[in-house]
Amino acid sequence: MKRIPILLALVLLVSSCSSSEQPTPAPGGLPSSRTSPPERSCGDGTCDGPETVENCPADCQAPPTLPTTSSAETPPLYYFYAIHAHGSSEFLPYTDPGMTTVDPQAAENMISAIAGIAQALDRYGAKGTWEFLPATIRGIAAYQGESNIFGELLSNGHEIGTHAHRIEAVPLAVQALQEIGIVPETTSGFITQISDAGPSEAQSAMAEAIAAQVDLGLTVGTTNLLPGSEMNLLSPACDEQFGVGNDMWMDTGNLMFPWRPDYVHEDICSDNPQGEMMFVSHASIEALILPDAPGPPDVLDARHFGQLRQQFDAALDYMQENQPQRVAAWGFVTHIIEYAVGSQAENGPDPAALQALDDFLAYVDSRHDEGLVVYATAAEIAQLASAP
């Protein structure tokens, strides 16, 4: 695999899945104009907060059971899409780091991007694993009120999790979701959370990041620990091997077999069957970089999805050739801002970018119709991988 220069890796960390390094205010510093979490009760037609299938069947329905076998001779490939919902300034859609005022235009543009991506997924029955920064959650909830995009996503079978560029921001994201009745189990942002660690400290830094999130009830981590990438500080310590049998990454861009990193012993490379966090890998953002391009795209188009298609096809080839009798997944990640011109939510989604996503999903769906692909969220994949 082609290694990107260190300078490009730093650009990726700072500009692609990072933000202006302004601390997210603690909840006590939020403006009083933010809407209070609504009162909820069993029987109101909404499954949220503490309500579950067991304690409130009137509102909550059991999720559909994912097939564990394929209608084809080849075992199924579980397919997921992780979407990081934020702008390049992590306080968006607020106008400032103090989160005092929501910018209506930024909020509308972010919501439109989320809705456009979700509509493409819904068209094919695919699912998104949506991962939100604290300010994005609070800003959109304050702007939309009780009837918001979060409820729409959940009602259509999508998953909502947390995203944080610093460990100390993870509790804020969890709390922001809980205040609107969502209890997350999936989290992301590990690469940026340990970006200040040196190579010799990477294992302990990642172990600390995982432990802190497990303590918050987060048990599924979406990651892009692709060996050979300068962004992956753990790669040298792990001798480019993560989990068990993940040797297909050079062609597929994915570590297809989920694993439980042994963070208790600061050995993220190894699988610990008793571990409390399951890592589900997706393609690195580097998969979207075109040859000779300086970094990830401002706006996605068919060329970027064409590169993803090559990795997706390689994953299907791997399944056919190796017939693995274990849960295998392939996923990719983008940000909502890669569907619009600019990175500050100054524009709504570009229809051509959404069409490029739709075209890619149509191709994936053709393999789904053949029985080779099962649509899932990261949490559903982790649950299947955890089963005895």
DSSP helix/strand/coil, 80: strand
CATH number attached to the domain at 74-386: 3.20.20.370
Q: What is the pTM of this model?
A: 0.84
Model pLDDT, residue 22? 47
Instruction: Characterize 218-231 residue by residue with b for buried, 16 or more Cβ atoms within 10 angstroms of its Cβ, and e for exposed.
Output: bbbbbbbbbbebbb
Return the residue matching tokens 């990719």. Answer: 332
Model pLDDT, residue 27? 37
Q: Give the Cβ contact number of residue 352 at 10 Å.
A: 12
Q: Give the Cβ contact number of residue 136 at 10 Å.
A: 28
Question: 353 is written with which tokens?
Answer: 């970018």
Of 258, 266, 374, nearest to 327 by C-alpha is 258
Q: Give the Cβ contact number of residue 315 at 10 Å.
A: 25
Decide: residue 10, CB within 10 A, 0-12 exposed, 13-18 middle, 19+ buried: middle
Helix axes 134-144, 170-178, angle to 10 degrees: 20
Rg, the chain, Cα only:
20
Q: For residues 267 and 57, give the distance between their C-alpha atoms in angstroms, rounded to a whole number.
A: 41
Q: For residues 165 and 200, give the distance between their C-alpha atoms in angstroms, rounded to a whole number.
A: 21
Provide the residue ranges of all domains of the chain, joining segments of one domain with +. 74-386
Q: Are 138 and 30 in contact (CB under 8 A)?
A: yes
Q: Render each residue's pLDDT in the chain as its tens digit; 388 residues.
A: 433 343 444 344 444 455 444 444 443 333 322 333 445 567 765 555 455 555 666 665 555 455 555 555 889 999 999 999 999 999 999 999 999 999 999 999 999 999 999 999 999 999 999 999 999 999 999 999 999 999 999 999 999 999 999 999 999 999 999 999 999 999 999 988 888 888 788 899 999 999 999 999 999 999 988 887 767 778 787 887 899 999 999 999 999 999 999 999 999 999 999 999 999 999 988 899 999 899 889 999 999 999 999 999 999 999 999 999 999 999 999 999 999 999 999 999 999 999 999 999 999 999 999 999 999 999 999 999 998 7
